[in-house]
Amino acid sequence: MVGLIIETCVKIALALGVLMTGAAYLVLVERWIAAWVQDRIGPNRVGIPLTNIRLFGLGQPIADGLKLIFKEEYVPGHVDRVVYNLGPILTFVAAVAVYAVVPLGQVDLGISGWRPIDLTIVPQFDAALVYLFAANGAAVYGVIAGGWASRNKYSLFGALRAAAQLIAYEIPLSLTLLVVALYAGSLQLDQMVLQQAQTGVWNIVLHPLTFVVFFVAVTAEAARLPFDLPETEQELVGGFHTEYSGMRLMTYLVSEFLHMVTAAVLIVLLFLGGWHFWGLTGSEPVAGIGGALLRIIVFAVKVLLVIWFFMMMRWSWPRFRFDQLMRLAWKVLIPWGMVPLVILVWWYSGGEEVLGLEGGRGLALLAVINWAALIAVWIVTAQLSPPSYDNRPRQDLVRLARQPEQAIPAGVRPTAKAWQPSFDNEE
């Protein structure tokens, strides 16, 4: 029992250390990529403090952190103090708590009498997936608390947008999770990764439509561009963290970054085979020390690649308008999310036997069906609902008004007031 507590504490310390350092350095990477994409060089000056050694700017996170720590922590007089202080903490706890169930396989240290150690803080947790999404979704409470307690219209708008966005995108997200869980036959993340490793077929190949829906939904949930509506700088100043500064702001920003890392971790775990790579990591649940190290490296590389794609995506596509965001969630992603679920349910409830294929050929057929579904659904959506529509002034009314008086029947001609705000209250 004592051993278990020590083991868990060590794991928590390791995970927190890696996460905090990782988040700090990912900020630097994000700044680099932003600079390179804009034909700039990016931060490259800060190296070892008190020397002239630059190290390509690798000291920048330390400088940034110190700056935020020593900055004045200004609390506006009009805020609700309790909730205001609670906001960043809630978000941060939720963002970190997710990592309790991220599986990296088991390692056999080779010491006799020791059982293989799970490289997960909470190993073999039966409801890991449910817990993970509960914790991930709980982060929005901190955002709403912060936005509400700030007593500022822009902050509140940001918080409300975050809430609306989360509710909208939880649904397609859950639908895709149903598919993955149903396919794995378990809610344990270890099992899901193990299944991908043992069959050697990653879920992205088998469930492409699910992957697309999941990817979009998880990006929206992490509030990354093009879905960063809760904190659109151009519209809402800073959104929910407009009134925050110093350490509290840093807590929010780090949590936000952790959300992106969470999203990348989830994509890798559920669709890109977790720690598995063909011919490199093996597929047994337990690995030796070297094998376990290799698995961690493979996992980290995959996560970093996904994060890199997130960062590139940020500069590639413009931000959605809020109505477009909602439209995408409710009218596109939710119907899309149901399609692979129906296919998989049909597959397990007799479709497999109907087609009379077993094992590998059966899986190949499932993959083909799912790819066909992706293409079909994409084409149908594209042709049925135009992706953009006009929100400029009603041109038919404008044209009508510009015609000469006589040409228009009485009563049809719109008055100038039809599209102008009225100021009746001023009188």
Partner 1 sequence: MKPDSSEIRWVDESPLTPAERSYLPLFIEGLTTTFRHLVSPKITVQFPEERHEFPDPIIYRGVHRLNRDEQGRVKCVACFLCATACPAHCIDIVAAPSPWPDREKYPVVFNIDMLRCIFCGMCEEACPVDAIELTSLYDLSGKSRDEMIFDKEKLLSVYDQTKDLEPPRWMRERDVLEDQTSDSATGET
For partner 1, the closer of residues 316 and 349 by Cβ is: 316
Q: Report the residue from 52, 234, 420, 422 that binds partner 1 according to the rule CB under 8 A.
A: 420
Q: Which two tokens stand for residue 387?
A: 């992706």
**CA nearest to 273, candidates 192, 366, 340, 210:** 192
Q: Is 376 in the site for partner 1 (CB under 8 A)?
A: no
Torsion of CA 274, 184, 377, 355, to 10 degrees: 130
For partner 1, the closer of residues 51 and 112 by Cβ is: 51
- The CB density around residue 155, as the number of other CB atoms within 10 Å, is 27
For partner 1, the closer of residues 132 and 332 by Cβ is: 332
Minimum gap (Å) between residue 30 Cβ and partner 1: 13
CA distance 241 to 159: 9
The window from 84-92, 198-206, 274-282, 412-420 that contacts partner 1 (CB under 8 A) reads 412-420
Q: Show contacts with partner 1 in window 274-333 (CB under 8 A).
A: 312-313, 315-317
For partner 1, the closer of residues 234 and 420 by Cβ is: 420
The window from 1-9, 254-262, 353-361, 380-388 that contacts partner 1 (CB under 8 A) reads 380-388
Q: Is 234 in the site for partner 1 (CB under 8 A)?
A: no
Q: Is 127 in the site for partner 1 (CB under 8 A)?
A: no
Minimum gap (Å) between residue 161 Cβ and partner 1: 23
Q: Is 10 in the site for partner 1 (CB under 8 A)?
A: no
For partner 1, the closer of residues 349 and 403 by Cβ is: 403
Using CA atoms, how far residue 274 sits from 149, 196, 298, in Å, is: 39, 8, 8
For partner 1, the closer of residues 5 and 407 by Cβ is: 407
Q: Which two tokens stand for residue 73?
A: 């922590």
For partner 1, the closer of residues 85 and 381 by Cβ is: 381
Radius of gyration of the chain (CA): 26
23-58 CB burial, b ≥16 within 10 A, e <16: bbebbbbbbbbeeeeeeeebbeebbeeeeeeeeebb
DSSP 107: E
CA distance 22 to 303: 12
CA distance 21 to 8: 20
Binding mask 382-401 for partner 1 (x = CB under 8 A): xx--xxx-x--x-x--xx-x
Binding mask 33-72 for partner 1 (x = CB under 8 A): x--xxxxxx-------------------------------
First to last CA, the chain: 77
Minimum gap (Å) between residue 299 Cβ and partner 1: 24
Are 92 and 262 contacting, i.e. CB atoms less than 8 angstroms apart? no
DSSP string across 10-35: HHHHHHHHHHHHHHHHHHHHHHHHHH
Q: Report the residue from 416, 422, 424, 426 that binds partner 1 according to the rule CB under 8 A.
A: 416
Helices (H), 272-358: 289-316, 322-327, 334-346, 352-355
Q: Is 112 in the site for partner 1 (CB under 8 A)?
A: no
What residue ranges bind partner 1 (CB under 8 A)?
33, 36-41, 312-313, 315-317, 378-379, 382-383, 386-388, 390, 393, 395, 398-399, 401-402, 416, 419-420
